[in-house]
Structure 1
């Protein structure tokens, strides 16, 4: 297995508090790695250590097969990053920003600037300075700056902040294209779990500074349980009917009006007919599958999904 990024017991202490604890991270070449965790879990701190913006208290980082040190200049040239909010010279235009970035990166391809502006939908902004950009436009420019030198590794901390639904979809397709057609490995964090669900090949979940799991999205999807969700006027009475009349025990009363039935041997029609026969009013019944959000919440709550 070829790993672009590996960490070994990566740890960071701030003010006597361990904010990242013995993280062992494994990012495969050519994949999109979704990095998930609640606010304050340690995502940004890990990303800062991967990009040499913050030094680990202990532990090692290996990128492209090389240990990251204070002198890893060539390694850093092969990376593109957005950590927290992208910062620009506010008086420059988008084109001038990319030209300046290419200059100090030693990357000379004027045609690529035009191509990147088109990819991130900023081609018609030449008369506009960055200081007048919306948050979404600044995010697009940050992504453009991160990818213009065709890096082998992209590290993106909340890159879709400020984008509208159309922009999010466009950037998602852009990331998929970069990964598939250019072979770029991407580590991306986001609080929008539904977006990571559509984007990532692998997820890593961090909570309270500890990496809880790394798992492929294929395995997450295979582990998710189908269930029938019934919304009724009297949950407790309906639960009694389900157990006593249908002999179903594998169900959960979420609240007094919602029941999730995990027994696939009984059809929706039989469930609804039995409830109606016993004077239970059904407001809704549908088959559902647990989402990445359900899986995530279960992990960070110690294996218990909150109702």
Structure 2
């Protein structure tokens, strides 16, 4: 298996405080790696170390099979990134900003500028100065700048900030296309777990500077249990029916109206019939699976184990 990015015992101490602790990440070539964690968990700090903006206190970073050092200029040419909020020359147009970027990157394919703008669907901006761009437009321009040199590894820190649902879907499709058709490896952090769930091949979960989990999305889906969720008007009465009429014990009360049943040997129709016969009103009853969000919250709020 080829890993395009690996970290070994990566640690960062700032003002005497260890904010990243012995992180061992492995990102496979060509995959989309979703990097998840609460605010302040250390995602951006790790991304800054990978792009050589921060120096590790200890540990190593290996990219394309080579150790990252202070003089890894050729390695960095093969990366594209957005770290935190993208900064531009505000009094220049989008194209002028991209031309400057290509110049200092030593990339001279002029046709790449229009192609990158098309990929991120940034239209009708030929004469518009960047200072007049919306947040979403600047985010699109940042992604265009990150992909314009056709990098082998693309590092995106919260790339869908400021975008509406249509823009988020467009970029989701773009990220998939960059991975599948261009063979680009993507490391993406995001707070929108539903989006990561739709595009990621692997997820890494970080908490308090420690990588507490790293596994494939296929494994997450296998770990997630199917259940029946029902919304009822009288939760106490419904619980009595489940326990004493149907002899079900494997269920969980979510709130005053919602119950989840994890017993796979009983059907929705059997549950509905029993509740109706006991005069329990059912607002809804559906079969569901746990989501990445629920898995993530179990990991972050628990002790690093699946509940």
Q: TM-score range by the shorter chain?
A: over 0.9
Secondary structure at the counterpart of residue 245 of structure 2: helix
What is the TM-score when the length of structure 1 is the normalising length?
0.97
- In 2, the alpha carbon distance for the partners of 1:150 and 1:43 equals 24
Q: Which residue number corresponds to residue 186 of structure 2? A: 186
Residue 255 (structure 2) pairs with residue 233 (structure 1): no
Give the conservation status (yes or no) of the 8 Å contact 1:12–1:19.
yes
- Which structure 2 residues correspond to residues 155-166 of structure 1 after superposition, within 5 A? 155-166=155-166
Give the deviation of 1:303 after TM superposition: 5.7
Taking a change above 3 Å as real, the CA distance of residues 303 and 231 of structure 1, as seen in their structure-2 partners, is farther
Q: Secondary structure of the residue that 1:182 maps to in structure 2? A: coil
CA contact (8 A) 2:213 2:304 kept: no
The answer for the alignment partner of 2:200 in structure 1 is: 200
Structure 2 residue 294 is matched with structure 1 residue 294: yes
Distance in 1 separating the partners of 2:15 and 2:243: 54
Number of positions where the alignment pairs a residue of Structure 1 with one of Structure 2: 305
After superposition, the C-alpha distances for 1:94-121 in whole angstroms (9 at most, x for unaligned) are: 0111111111111111111111111112
Which residue in the other structure is 1:94 paired with?
Answer: 94
How far apart, CA to CA, are the structure 2 residues paired with 1:165 and 1:45? 28
- CA distance in 2 between counterparts of 1:119 and 1:58 reads 38
Cα distance in structure 2, aligned partners of 1:304 and 1:101 = 42
- Residue of structure 2 in register with 1:128 after alignment: 128
TM-score of the pair, normalised by structure 2: 0.97
Shift of residue 122, structure 1, vs aligned partner = 1.9
- Structural RMSD (CA): 1.2
Does the CA contact (< 8 Å) of 1:114 and 1:123 recur in 2? no
1:140 is aligned to 2:140: yes
Separation of aligned partners in 1, 2:202 and 2:219 = 9
**Residue in 2 that maps onto 1:68:** 68
User: Which consecutive unaligned segments of at least 5 residues does structure 1 have?
Assistant: none
Structure 2 counterparts to residues 239-258 of structure 1, below 5 A: 239-258=239-258
State the 1:283 CA deviation. Answer: 1.6
Q: Which contiguous aligned blocks of 4+ residues in structure 1 show a shift greater than 2 angstroms?
A: none
| Structure 2 counterpart of 1:172 | 172
* Unmatched tracts of structure 2, length 5 or more: none
